Amino acid sequence: MIGKLIERIVAVLTFVIALCPVFLFPNQLCAAQATQEETLHIAVAANFAKPVKAISEEFETRSGVHAIITVASSGTLYAQIKSGAPFDVFLSADAERPLQLVEDGLVASSAVKTYAVGRLAYLSRSLAEPAIDDLKTAALAPNEKLAIANPRLAPYGLAAQQTLLKLALWQQMLPSLVYGKNILQAYQYYISGNVDNALVAWSLIKDRSSHVVLIPEHYHEPIVQKMAVMKAAAHPEAAARFMEYLLSPKVQKSLDDWGYGQALDTPGESLGN
């Protein structure tokens, strides 16, 4: 009799202890469950890898939603998505590929937004204060190499190609070009000393006080960077909240420090459109 009573008491106490976290720490429990259940898979173009890491960490602190980030060129990520890669959000370095995903039936048109506007820069190891015309000097030098991202895969590579075409240097510099599979790799070629010149994203350059000049925007098509939430997103609500957070005034203002123009600055667009 006493043994059965003790068993019942133990069972009741076990049940009460199990319920305690729900009543005492409901917010913490919900956050823990969100962390376990909601993990966003974000595909990001290489130029925006550092900003999205910082932004996603801030978002996780606010929402409890963790992000797993995959970095590659926009073209490579687009191909992976077309092949069924399970990404929730795609941050491209251009507008074309997210819009193409709409045409492909993988993204709703309302789920595509501009999140940033990129800038291109010219790096020269030999010149402390380079100018745009110094690209012409580099083109004439016999052993000079210029790193750019692959124009077929990376929008910043396409902008570099357009800049060289604008300067009538594209054909002349073809033998001197070193292609990165994405803009980050092109920048690494310069940092490692493999090349002495590079056309890369302004946002990647840590020290902007010397050896670099910003390319005027009229030298290439605007680098309008759009993002998209996949129709097949595992956590569409969390993905939509992340998009909303990235377009918030606080985050948009921080893009200036990273080397980007805000989505609000895009011609003909308002924030988030």
Q: In this structure, what CATH number is given to the domain that contains residue 56?
A: 3.40.190.10
- Give domain status of residue 95, yes or no: yes
81/75 Cα distance (integer angstroms): 10
DSSP-derived secondary structure letter, 215:
P
- Give domain status of residue 11, yes or no: no
Please choose, from the candidates 188, 217, 186, the residue with its C-alpha nearest in 3D space to the C-alpha of residue 199.
186
125/25 Cα distance (integer angstroms): 56
pLDDT score, position 185: 98
Same domain, 182 and 229: no
- Give domain status of residue 15, yes or no: no
pLDDT score, position 38: 85
Q: Which two tokens stand for residue 92?
A: 């491209």
The C-alpha R_g of the chain, in whole angstroms, comes to 24
Q: Which two tokens stand for residue 228?
A: 């998209």
Below-50 pLDDT ranges, the chain: 5, 10-36, 265, 267-273
- Summarize pLDDT for 101-117 with one digit per residue, the tens: 999 999 999 999 999 99
- Give domain status of residue 20, yes or no: no
- Tokens 């310069």 appear where? 190
User: Which amino acid is it at 197?
Assistant: N
Please choose, from the candidates 104, 109, 111, 110, the residue with its C-alpha nearest in 3D space to the C-alpha of residue 90.
111
pTM of the model: 0.81
**Alpha helices, DSSP H only, in the chain?**
2-24, 26-37, 49-63, 74-82, 96-103, 134-140, 155-166, 170-173, 183-191, 236-246, 249-258
Same domain, 114 and 233: yes
Same domain, 162 and 235: no
% of the chain residues with pLDDT over 90: 76
Task: Give how many domains the chain has, as a whole number.
Answer: 2
215 is in an annotated binding site: no
pLDDT score, position 139: 77
% of the chain residues with pLDDT over 70: 83
- Give domain status of residue 78, yes or no: yes
Same domain, 97 and 166: no
Same domain, 129 and 209: yes
Same domain, 67 and 198: no
244/215 Cα distance (integer angstroms): 30
Same domain, 110 and 61: yes
pLDDT score, position 37: 62
Same domain, 101 and 151: no
Same domain, 199 and 256: no
CB within 8 A of 55, min separation 6: which ones?
245, 246, 251, 254
Q: Which two tokens stand for residue 9?
A: 């008491």
49/52 Cα distance (integer angstroms): 5
Same domain, 176 and 42: no
- Give domain status of residue 3, yes or no: no
41/44 Cα distance (integer angstroms): 10
Same domain, 176 and 102: no
Q: Residue 131 sits in which domain range?
A: 120-214
Same domain, 231 and 114: yes
- Tokens 């990129």 appear where? 118
- Give domain status of residue 143, yes or no: yes
Last residue of a domain, which of 189, 214, 239? 214
**C-alpha neighbours within 13 Å on the C-beta side of residue 36:** 6
pLDDT score, position 209: 87
pLDDT score, position 264: 66
74 is in an annotated binding site: yes
- Give domain status of residue 273, yes or no: no
